[in-house]
Structure 1
Amino acid sequence: MEYTLYLGSYTKRESKGVHKITLDTTNDKLVDYQLIAEVDSPTYLTFSSDKKTMYTISKEENGAGLTSFNLLDNGEYKKRASTTTEDAAPCYISFDEVRKLLFTASYHGGYVSVYKENEDGTLEQTDRVIHKGSSVHENQKSPHVHYTDYAPNSQILLVCDLGTDEVFSYEVSDEGKLTEISRYTAKAGSGPRHLAFHPNGKTVYLVCELSSEIEILEYHQEDATFTYVDRISTIPETHTSFNSGAAIRVSNDGNFVYYSNRGHNSIAVFEASETTEALTLVDYVPTEGETPRDFNFSPDENYLIVGHQDSDHLTLFKRNQAVGKLTLLEKDVYAPECVCVKF
């Protein structure tokens, strides 16, 4: 079996844009690294369900925003449209395929933007909400929006603001307008970066980048609110130097949660309790690289692939689905400046 893995990256050094690489499960290897779209700073990606259209964060000479691409017969992607309404490149992008809406998070600007893809393929901004506030950490002098994605089976947009320690819930109209309906405040100085839902649709695991913790929350779908349940550290007590949380994934069976640590340079593996409201540490797994900003499961969840922003390579692990443990297979697969890992 072969799976195609798509890699978003910075383009400050060697990367020229979006790449793909093949996971060969017969030989337990990553092979055939290829450039598929030349674009500046595609640090996050999303796709249409058939993979015929790709949407990326991007920068151009006259500004930043997002770019759409059409899939060609040779497997590469050709630019279709772009928008440059943002001063600095966003850090996250998601796609409502039914209503043709795209959502971006601006870390530097502290706002969430909504774009509409028109029938002719052009991209039009429909709304922007600028956050206000700050918090207690030195990196929290202003809002820093870092995540914009839907709650499961809904059109409620959840937005993590690392700068204000808040998670916002927005209702999204068909015209792409946002209305705030609730707001959750995390621990002061924790820095909410991303979140992931348990398959039950109620338990939420919140990445706290600045405190190196996971906040466990209960999500109430009826009013899009959150209730605090618990929190757990993602690094050992013996690690006293710099660390910041990055990505989080939950296995499809809901039994295991994985979290990447930048600084400790590890994947923290946790087992979820039967109630899903408690996590127990299984292992800290070295990623064999510097700054593991993103990682992902293979579609069959038998493998886990880590991208490293600063050591320019991928690490491939075999995953034991029964106990959650990771076994190193490869640690030197060239992939410069990788910060987004998508299947």
Structure 2
Amino acid sequence: MTNVIGRVFVGGYPSGPTRTEVPGAIHTLDLRDDGTLAITGVAGEGMEATAVALSADGTRLYSVDERRNDGRGPVGRPAKLFAFAVDAADGSLSELSQQRTFAAFPTYVSVDPLGEFVVTASHGSFEHVEHVVEVDGGWVVENLYDDSAICLFPITADGGTEAPCDVYVMRNHSVDPGPSPQAKGHAQASSHAHSALFDPSGQYVLVGDKGADEIHVLRLDREARRLRPTQVLHTPPVTAPRHPAFHPDGRFVFMTDELASGVSTYEFDPAAGMLRHLSSTKSTSPDFAGRNEPADIAVHPNGGFVFVNNRGEDSVVSFSVDASSGELTFVDAVPVSPTKDPGFAARTVHFAASGRYLLVGDRPADRVLIIDVDPETGRLSIVGEATVPGAAAIASVVVGA
């Protein structure tokens, strides 16, 4: 007999042969102690639920709907943040609120550990608009790009959210045109925030702007309900910092470097709200030499290992963590589905059941991979999979905790 040890929520893109036949949604699954997953419910049909996060107590789920707002007199669905109540008995979701996000394509959501705020990161598109300007009797063309923005939403008494109380806007760029084939060489023509993560204390939000090669540290002013920048750390050109993850003790932050095919370790000073770069290493297996772009990152609850999913090598890689320096050393790798393009690839790694299983949102195969992790060695073993259309984002809670 198997027992349910965790509840898993998987947000997904539309899927099918042309990526449109099956609408996106959020699926609820039970995780059993034998490492199997079973779908028990679905909510939010029609959403592009590409980032999801749970409240600290597991009673509320927050999800973005990753869209671009379509201008004057919009006819399509706008980009939004959704809030859902989670039924304690079966994990079913009941909608609490919808709030429009600012800037195009929200791709990340994070919940304040103290339960007062939610933040989202909006990536913006790669496209530009040629804006004609008259200058000195002639005309020039300005190439205008989407803003990228972090939205701060207050949480209401029932767990829903109010409209944003602050919006932190980024309008920078890095090397353009650059060496990445993304956007035909224009992957860094404008800011592209792909993360906004609360630190464990809830004092700060870390933002990875992969378009500008910058990491922003924002202090949450709770009384004023504002985000105050304490640091903008400039990484080397064409690094593209994407997703951060904190070590359980809060001292180290690990960040995927999308265009550098790397993962970096930073030391975090919570008193000053400052990061200091310590080291960087390849995100792939040591002998891999092809083009690669890492996406997501997770840290084992015991703090001993870091896990990264790679698009190019098409792998999940484990690294051991040096307890004194935070330096990473390759341990193991397992394969995921072949990448079809940077946006159509396995893009999520997430720990469930207190670190027993690592779950991978393997979008090209419409599945969640279930990986058993040896907590002593960091070795990886794929033990199963579950079919979930467009699987792109994962959150989970332990059952019976």
TM-score (ref. length: structure 2): 0.79
The answer to whether the aligner puts 1:100 opposite 2:139 as a matched pair is: no
1:307 alignment counterpart: 361
As a proportion of its length, which structure holds more strand? 1
- C-alpha distance in 2 between matches for 1:271 and 1:74: 36
Match of 1:324 among 375, 378, 382: 378
Task: Return the letter of the residue paired with 1:270.
Answer: F
- C-alpha distance in 2 between matches for 1:119 and 1:256: 37
Whether contact under 8 Å (2:305, 2:319) holds in the other structure is yes
Change (3 A) 1:51 1:278: closer
1:37 alignment counterpart: 44
Gaps of 5+ in 1: none
**More displaced stretch, 118-127 vs 304-313:** 118-127
Match of 1:114 among 152, 157, 181: 152
Offset at 1:184?
1.1
Offset at 1:236?
3.9
Q: Cα deviations across residues 275-297 of structure 1 (Å, max 9, x unaligned)?
A: 14211111221125652200212
1:281 alignment counterpart: 330
Offset at 1:232?
0.2
2:280 alignment counterpart: 231
The answer to whether the aligner puts 1:24 opposite 2:32 as a matched pair is: yes
Whether contact under 8 Å (2:307, 2:349) holds in the other structure is no
1:53 alignment counterpart: 60
Offset at 1:71?
3.3
- C-alpha distance in 2 between matches for 1:85 and 1:315: 31
After superposition, residues 138-217 of structure 1 pair within 5 angstroms as 138=185, 139-174=187-222, 175-217=224-266
Secondary structure of 1:310 counterpart: helix
Offset at 1:199?
2.3
Q: Cα deviations across residues 62-88 of structure 1 (Å, max 9, x unaligned)?
A: 511211122356642222211224353
The answer to whether the aligner puts 1:83 opposite 2:89 as a matched pair is: no
Q: Cα deviations across residues 302-329 of structure 1 (Å, max 9, x unaligned)?
A: 2211111222112112111111101121
- C-alpha distance in 1 between matches for 2:55 and 2:251: 26
Secondary structure of 1:228 counterpart: strand
The answer to whether the aligner puts 1:129 opposite 2:168 as a matched pair is: yes
Q: Higher Cα Rg: structure 1 or 2?
A: 2
Task: Return the letter of the residue paired with 1:76.
Answer: S
Match of 2:78 among 50, 54, 63: 63
1:255 alignment counterpart: 304
- C-alpha distance in 2 between matches for 1:4 and 1:220: 34
Whether contact under 8 Å (1:65, 1:89) holds in the other structure is no
- C-alpha distance in 1 between matches for 2:35 and 2:298: 21
The answer to whether the aligner puts 1:7 opposite 2:34 as a matched pair is: no
- C-alpha distance in 1 between matches for 2:320 and 2:66: 39
Whether contact under 8 Å (2:203, 2:219) holds in the other structure is yes
Change (3 A) 1:85 1:151: closer
Change (3 A) 1:177 1:289: same
Task: Return the letter of the residue paired with 2:105.
Answer: A
Whether contact under 8 Å (2:213, 2:239) holds in the other structure is yes
Where relative contact order (Cα < 8 A, 6+ residues apart) is larger, the structure is 2
- C-alpha distance in 2 between matches for 1:154 and 1:71: 22
Whether contact under 8 Å (2:362, 2:368) holds in the other structure is yes
Whether contact under 8 Å (2:301, 2:354) holds in the other structure is no
The answer to whether the aligner puts 1:338 opposite 2:386 as a matched pair is: no
Whether contact under 8 Å (1:63, 1:86) holds in the other structure is no
Change (3 A) 1:176 1:39: farther
**More displaced stretch, 95-104 vs 307-316:** 95-104
Offset at 1:342?
1.2
Name the % identity: 24
Change (3 A) 1:238 1:75: closer
Match of 1:267 among 284, 300, 316: 316
2:139 alignment counterpart: none
Offset at 1:104?
0.7
**More displaced stretch, 230-239 vs 128-137:** 230-239
- C-alpha distance in 1 between matches for 2:316 and 2:325: 20
Offset at 1:35?
1.2
Q: Cα deviations across residues 99-130 of structure 1 (Å, max 9, x unaligned)?
A: 62211101003111112234474521111121
Change (3 A) 1:240 1:33: farther
Secondary structure of 2:364 counterpart: coil
- C-alpha distance in 2 between matches for 1:245 and 1:76: 32
Change (3 A) 1:225 1:189: same
Offset at 1:36?
3.4
**More displaced stretch, 190-199 vs 117-126:** 117-126
Whether contact under 8 Å (2:247, 2:253) holds in the other structure is yes
Give the root-mean-square deviation of aligned CA atoms.
Answer: 2.2
Offset at 1:238?
5.0
Change (3 A) 1:238 1:274: closer
- C-alpha distance in 2 between matches for 1:205 and 1:198: 8
- C-alpha distance in 2 between matches for 1:86 and 1:328: 39
Whether contact under 8 Å (1:145, 1:162) holds in the other structure is yes
Whether contact under 8 Å (1:316, 1:328) holds in the other structure is yes
Secondary structure of 2:347 counterpart: strand
Offset at 1:206?
1.2
Whether contact under 8 Å (1:21, 1:31) holds in the other structure is yes
Aligned residues: 341
